[in-house]
């Protein structure tokens, strides 16, 4: 009899835990998958921030747990797609561009903005990850109210990768990295000093643009498309590989930012510096 009672209590406890788990998961966000631009931003941020790849499956199902990794991923993705800026705060227009039904619902927009202002005001001032996350949670809560995208949007081809996209990525990564103005002024001159902030910036730009991967290294074919005018691809690839291979023994495998800085920037310094100087006015 005692054994039966213990088993009953154990079963009830298990059911309660399952209920709590389901309720908690549902509260993290709606289950509609994010639109492609947000999924792409999330993938870039998971790579750049070194978050476990398994978490990306959660994010791509619109499940955003309350933890520091997720909060900083939301900040990073928000900067990329335009719903967050460390200086300006939460930007509803960035979400309007992703969700047409939200753009057509001014009442929902006002509700989200009002909620975001209240929640962000309770966050510690320096914690921009928590601020971005709390603003985004207001959107997720409102989305569950019914305006979310229920029908698949037509697939749009990604914009061609070119100099303008490189400069845009540089500006986005400068915001993600909180690069000070004095360094940004150097970058506009095509100068990228070998310091901690700049190494992180180069890796961020490389991952965001697809020019670099932590495991595969520089994407030489894509670099050739960007910088290889007037050269044969074979010669470009040969020179690139000589530089990459020569620097490999000098690098610590665990220092991902240093790896990216040397393999991407040092091996393509002239090309990157010239591209940035030619487009300095577009940096913001």
Q: How many CB atoms lie within 10 A of CB 165?
A: 16
Residue 99 has pLDDT above 50, yes or no: yes
Q: With respect to residue 22, please indicate whether it lies within any of the assigned structural domains.
A: no
Residue 181 has pLDDT above 80, yes or no: yes
Q: With respect to residue 202, please indicate whether it lies within any of the assigned structural domains.
A: yes
Sole residue written with tokens 């995208």: 149
Alpha helices in the chain (DSSP H): 2-28, 36-49, 53-59, 68-81, 92-96, 100-103, 106-121, 128-142, 163-176, 181-188, 196-209, 220-227, 233-247, 256-260, 269-278
Do 139 and 175 have their domain in common?
A: no
Q: What pLDDT is recorded for position 157?
A: 52
Average of per-residue pLDDT across 122-134? 93
- Among 93, 112, 145, give the residue marking a domain's end: 145
Do 123 and 182 have their domain in common?
A: no
- Among 111, 145, 179, give the residue marking a domain's end: 145
Q: With respect to residue 260, please indicate whether it lies within any of the assigned structural domains.
A: yes
State the DSSP code for 146. I
Do 210 and 257 have their domain in common?
A: yes
* Residue 45 domain boundaries: 36-145
pLDDT digits (tens, 9 = 90+) for 238-275: 999 999 888 877 677 678 999 999 999 999 999 999 99
Q: What pLDDT is recorded for position 28?
A: 40
More confident residue, 143 or 47: 47
Do 108 and 167 have their domain in common?
A: no
Q: What angle (nearest 5°) sits at the alpha carbon of residue 38, between those of residues 33 and 44?
A: 120
Q: With respect to residue 129, please indicate whether it lies within any of the assigned structural domains.
A: yes
Sole residue written with tokens 């697809």: 210
Do 139 and 174 have their domain in common?
A: no
Do 268 and 219 have their domain in common?
A: yes
pLDDT digits (tens, 9 = 90+) for 6-40: 444 444 443 343 333 333 333 344 467 899 999 99
Whole-model pTM: value is: 0.76
Domain count for the chain, please give it.
Answer: 2
Average of per-residue pLDDT across 199-212? 94
Do 43 and 140 have their domain in common?
A: yes
Q: How many CB atoms lie within 10 A of CB 236?
A: 18
CATH of the domain at 90: 1.10.238.20
State the DSSP code for 255. -
Distance CA 187, CA 167 (A): 11
Do 139 and 242 have their domain in common?
A: no
Q: What pLDDT is recorded for position 231?
A: 86
State the DSSP code for 104. T
Do 62 and 140 have their domain in common?
A: yes
10 Å CB burial of residue 283 (0-12, 13-18, 19+) is middle
Do 183 and 258 have their domain in common?
A: yes
Residue 1 has pLDDT above 60, yes or no: no
86 is written with which tokens?
């460390």
Q: What pLDDT is recorded for position 109?
A: 94
Q: What pLDDT is recorded for position 161?
A: 61
Q: With respect to residue 98, please indicate whether it lies within any of the assigned structural domains.
A: yes
pLDDT digits (tens, 9 = 90+) for 33-64: 899 999 999 999 999 999 999 999 999 999 99
Q: What pLDDT is recorded for position 237?
A: 92
- Among 145, 171, 192, give the residue marking a domain's end: 145
Average of per-residue pLDDT across 160-172? 84
Average of per-residue pLDDT across 217-226? 92
Q: What pLDDT is recorded for position 254?
A: 77
Do 109 and 196 have their domain in common?
A: no
């Amino acid at each position: 009899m005692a054994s039966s009672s213990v088993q009953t209590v154990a079963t009830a406890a298990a059911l309660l835990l399952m209920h709590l788990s389901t309720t908690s998961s549902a509260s993290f966000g709606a289950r509609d998958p994010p639109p492609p631009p947000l999924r792409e931003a999330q993938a870039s941020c998971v790579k750049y921030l070194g978050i476990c790849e398994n978490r990306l499956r959660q994010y791509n199902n619109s499940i955003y747990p309350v933890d520091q990794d997720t909060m900083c991923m939301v900040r990073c993705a928000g900067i990329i797609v335009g719903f967050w800026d460390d200086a300006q705060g939460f930007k509803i227009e960035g979400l309007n561009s992703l969700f047409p039904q939200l753009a057509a619902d001014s009442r929902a927009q006002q509700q989200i903005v009002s909620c975001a202002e209240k929640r962000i005001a309770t966050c510690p001032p320096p914690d921009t990850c928590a601020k971005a996350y709390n603003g985004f949670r207001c959107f997720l809560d409102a989305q569950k109210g019914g305006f979310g995208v229920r029908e698949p949007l037509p697939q749009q081809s990604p914009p061609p990768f070119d100099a303008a996209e490189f400069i845009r990525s540089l500006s986005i990564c400068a915001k993600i990295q909180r690069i000070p103005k004095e360094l940004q002024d150097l970058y506009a001159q095509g100068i990228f000093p070998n310091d901690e902030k700049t190494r992180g910036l180069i890796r961020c730009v490389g991952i965001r643009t697809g020019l670099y991967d932590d495991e595969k290294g520089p994407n030489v074919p894509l670099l050739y498309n960007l910088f290889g005018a007037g050269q044969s691809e074979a010669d470009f690839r040969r020179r690139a590989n000589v530089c990459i291979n020569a620097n490999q023994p000098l690098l610590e495998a665990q220092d991902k930012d240093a790896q990216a800085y040397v393999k991407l920037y040092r091996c393509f310094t002239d090309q990157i510096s010239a591209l940035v100087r030619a487009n300095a006015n577009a940096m913001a």
